Structure 1
């Protein structure tokens, strides 16, 4: 199995929604790069679930931050499949290093104070990943056109964490109805925002088409594929 297949398998297992969306990327080099991005994002996202205390999480985040800094400086990449994939890509390593800073919030235990704090976190994490993917798929992509789609998808993901008993930093006062209203509002805004997005970049926002369905439970692979196919074919998020 070569490095590209390794990364493809990592994303398919850990981030099936984005992996399915990447099937609609026609350019092999662009697909490889966004898969490297998604694999890197998953390495960061899983840290709080893999450590027993925040200090260990900070050590792991520092490892990834330093690995990206080394790539940015032109040093030989660390012998890790995801680091090697990033080094071989055209992704901006400094932007990936910034993602590690945003993920510091995952190591905190207190719920977000309010809606603004939730949205700021989503914009710095899932929003940044979505913007990087869109820009890699088409350099003409504007980050402003992916904000609400990323928020919708991120809100649904946070709700799934809470529903499955994992630690979740959503405000304690938020109910399922509150989240559904937030997701619906974000999707409504996304429908207007994604209009100017280049066609080639649409797979970056396509997972948002799964947000509402995932609130009711994890859709099957066939349902996901059909929803994503429809979204990409029409340029609409439902």
Structure 2
């Protein structure tokens, strides 16, 4: 992160789809908090690909986990823009520490062994992130209402990693297998998100892009904006 780059700039650069979804958050304070959350997700997600061995990855992830635990204990936040933003946010720092813990799985380069392992990984990463974002946007948001959407989004993300040669999916999964699973999760999401408060919908809106991504088609920013706008306006994925 460059000295002059804000957290909003960072998330726009490294996580443009989630960043676009945050443009539909009306409350500036809530939007800033969700941006800080997505900034943390980026920091955690990039650890495994940025270290030469698992021990170095463990050290970095432990740094983030302990930074969140210190906030929970009432200690001054560490001198890092993302840590400081999260310290003043509405998030439970203990829940943020759990997000860091979930990323230790990334340090094992072996593919996830089966569907149960894939879904458990997604639930602990993209799923937990969506729950935190949704409940920050509306405390009444039901965690179960984001489950299918987060899984569809997570599966599409894992497929994109596989296409880039960094697969965590089971070795025998084909594109058709992933497509089928994404469609199943989107079908579940269509009924689940009906119970999601309108204000919380931006937390799941990126799932509206999952089908296109798993088909291997890259979208321009205008198409992404249109898809996200339609999803938020209709409350459908």
Q: Which residue pairs with 1:95 in the alignment? A: 95
- Aligned-pair distance for 1:155? 0.3
- Mapped to 2, the partners of 1:143 and 1:4 lie a distance apart of 36
- Aligned-pair distance for 1:218? 2.4
Are 1:150 and 1:208, in contact at CA under 8 Å, matched by a contact in 2?
yes
1:43-64 deviations in whole A, cap 9, x for unaligned?
0001111111111000000000
TM-score w.r.t. the length of structure 2 is 0.97
Structure 2 unaligned blocks of 5 or more: none
User: Alignment length, in residue pairs?
Assistant: 234
1:90-137 deviations in whole A, cap 9, x for unaligned?
111000000111101100011111101100000011000000000000
SS at match of 1:141: coil
Q: Which residue pairs with 2:44 in the alignment? A: 44
Q: Does 1:152 align with 2:185?
A: no
Q: Which residue pairs with 1:123 in the alignment? A: 123
Are 1:4 and 1:85, in contact at CA under 8 Å, matched by a contact in 2?
no
Structure-to-structure mapping, 1:1-238, within 5 angstroms: 6-165=6-165, 167-215=166-214, 216-237=216-237
Q: CA RMSD in A?
A: 1.3
TM-score w.r.t. the length of structure 1 is 0.96
- Aligned-pair distance for 1:217? 2.7
- Mapped to 1, the partners of 2:84 and 2:4 lie a distance apart of 10
Are 1:145 and 1:197, in contact at CA under 8 Å, matched by a contact in 2?
yes
Q: Which runs of 4+ in 1 moved over 3 A?
A: none
- Aligned-pair distance for 1:209? 0.2
